[in-house]
């Protein structure tokens, strides 16, 4: 039950398979999304997952969160199999996923309220997280009154509310403009340094993956399998220097790009020749 370095993995993905099947208009659809993903995620590490569009990244994250079940294989957290969402794992959604009818603070309190945390306690903890993401002045605002970047900070505060060990983030900054994104990346790094969480971070952005991660998991094009695991050897804290100018930055970025490019090429060829 322990990985090569002798420590128990925080998350163990054990031979995860997932195929989507459904019928519409009498036609059977079968879409294999994941085909045998086996991987150990270390405690406190920042892991990015990258791969061509449709390769099953979101599906994998949903399975880790127990929002979907694997057909074969299992997910172990601290050595125990999980089948239901729990407060030790929290999701940050690409489209923020805030409840538009709730105020900022009520959105952040939500994971606590559903778990029967007394209201005063929930409010106190929600305030603490809102302060952490710098939004304590917007408690009583509604999501639509905030910019995209601010909304995602609410999403982050909500995920932090239950003080989870694991943060699951599905392209959290994908819908945010470039400058705000850079600022959010820095904030996330700082929060990660402060709180010691294990982060699984899906992204399409090579620079973002290299900038943030300890390791990068590259998935093959769909159905997803583990293609390669790339170590990122860049000193931390990374907001204290220009990471992109570091001699280790370009080689890692290039390595991942080479892997992705081949898959993208194959995918485009398949599409243009109509083969399958």
Ligand X SMILES: Nc1ncnc2c1ncn2[C@@H]1O[C@H](COP(=O)(O)OP(=O)(O)OP(=O)(O)O)[C@@H](O)[C@H]1O
Neighbours of 236 (CB within 10 A): 12
**Contact partner, 20, from Mg ion, ligand X, another protein, none, Cβ < 5-8 Å per class:** ligand X
Q: Which residues contact 234 (CB under 8 A, 6 or more apart)?
A: 210, 243, 246, 248, 249
Q: Which tokens belong to 178?
A: 């470039």
Q: Which stretch binds another protein (CB under 8 A): 21-29, 91-99, 186-194, 198-206?
A: 91-99
Q: Give the shortest CB-196-to-another protein separation in angstroms.
A: 22
User: Rule CB under 8 A: is residue 249 a binding residue for another protein?
Assistant: no
Task: By CB under 8 A, tell whether 69 contacts another protein.
Answer: no
Q: Which residues contact ligand X by CB under 6 A?
A: 20, 31, 33, 51, 53-59, 222
- C-beta of 42: minimal distance to another protein in Å? 23
CB of 218 to ligand X, least distance (A): 12
Min dist CB 1 to another protein, Å, is: 27
- Selected binder of another protein within 101, 120, 258, 272 (CB under 8 A): 101
Interaction between residue 90 and another protein (CB under 8 A): yes
Indicate which single residue of 39, 93, 138, 173 sits in contact with another protein (rule: CB under 8 A): 93
Residue 67 contact, options another protein, ligand X, Mg ion, none, Cβ 5-8 Å cut-off depending on partner type: another protein
Instruction: Select from 23-31, 141-149, 208-216, 223-231 the region that touches another protein (CB under 8 A).
Output: 141-149
Decide which of Mg ion, another protein, ligand X, none touches 56; Cβ closer than 5 to 8 Å per partner kind. Answer: ligand X
**Least distance to Mg ion, CB of residue 57, Å:** 5
The mark string for 33-72 relative to Mg ion (x by CB under 5 A, - otherwise) is: -------------------------x--------------
Interaction of residue 22 with another protein, rule CB under 8 A: no
DSSP the chain: ---TTSSPPSEEEEEEEEEEEEEETTEEEEEEEEEEEEEEE-TT-EEEEE-STTSSHHHHHHHHTTSS--SEEEEEETTEE--S--TTEEEE-TT----TTS-HHHHHHHHHHTTT--HHHHHHHHHHHHHHTT-GGGTT--GGGS-HHHHHHHHHHHHHHT--SEEEEESTTTTS-HHHHHHHHHHHHHHHHHH--EEEEE-S-HHHHHHH-SEEEEEPSSSB-EEEEEE----S-GGGS-GGGSTTHHHHHHHHHHHHHHHHHHHHHHHHHT--
Query: Cα dihedral sign for 177, 262, 248, 11?
Result: positive
Which chain residues interact with another protein by CB under 8 A?
62, 65, 67, 84-85, 87, 90-91, 93, 95, 97, 99-101, 110-111, 114-115, 142-144, 158, 162
């Amino acid at each position: 039950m322990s990985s090569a370095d002798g420590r128990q993995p925080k998350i163990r993905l054990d031979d995860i398979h997932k195929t989507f099947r459904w019928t519409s208009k009498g036609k059977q659809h079968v879409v294999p999304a994941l085909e045998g993903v086996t991987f150990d995620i270390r405690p406190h590490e920042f892991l990015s997952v990258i791969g061509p569009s449709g390769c099953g990244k979101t599906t994998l994250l949903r399975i880790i969160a127990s929002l979907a079940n694997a057909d074969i294989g299992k997910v172990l957290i601290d050595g125990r199999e999980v089948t239901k969402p729990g407060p030790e794992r929290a999701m940050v959604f690409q489209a923020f996923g805030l409840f538009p009818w709730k105020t900022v603070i009520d959105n952040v309190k939500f994971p606590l309220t559903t778990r029967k945390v007394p209201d005063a306690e929930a409010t106190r903890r929600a305030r603490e997280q809102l302060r952490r993401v710098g939004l304590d002045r917007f408690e009583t605002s509604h999501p639509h009154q905030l910019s995209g970047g601010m909304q995602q900070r609410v999403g982050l505060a909500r995920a932090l509310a239950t003080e989870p060990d694991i943060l699951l983030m599905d392209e959290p900054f994908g819908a945010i403009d470039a400058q705000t994104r850079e600022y959010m990346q820095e904030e996330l790094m700082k929060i990660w340094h402060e709180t010691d969480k294990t982060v699984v971070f899906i992204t399409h952005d090579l620079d973002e993956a290299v900038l943030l991660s300890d390791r990068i998991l590259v998935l093959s094009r769909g159905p997803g399998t583990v293609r390669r695991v790339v170590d990122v050897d860049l000193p931390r804290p990374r907001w204290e220097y220009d990471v992109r100018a570091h001699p280790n930055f370009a080689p890692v970025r290039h390595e991942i790009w080479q892997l992705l490019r081949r898959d993208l090429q194959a995918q485009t060829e398949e599409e243009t020749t109509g083969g399958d």
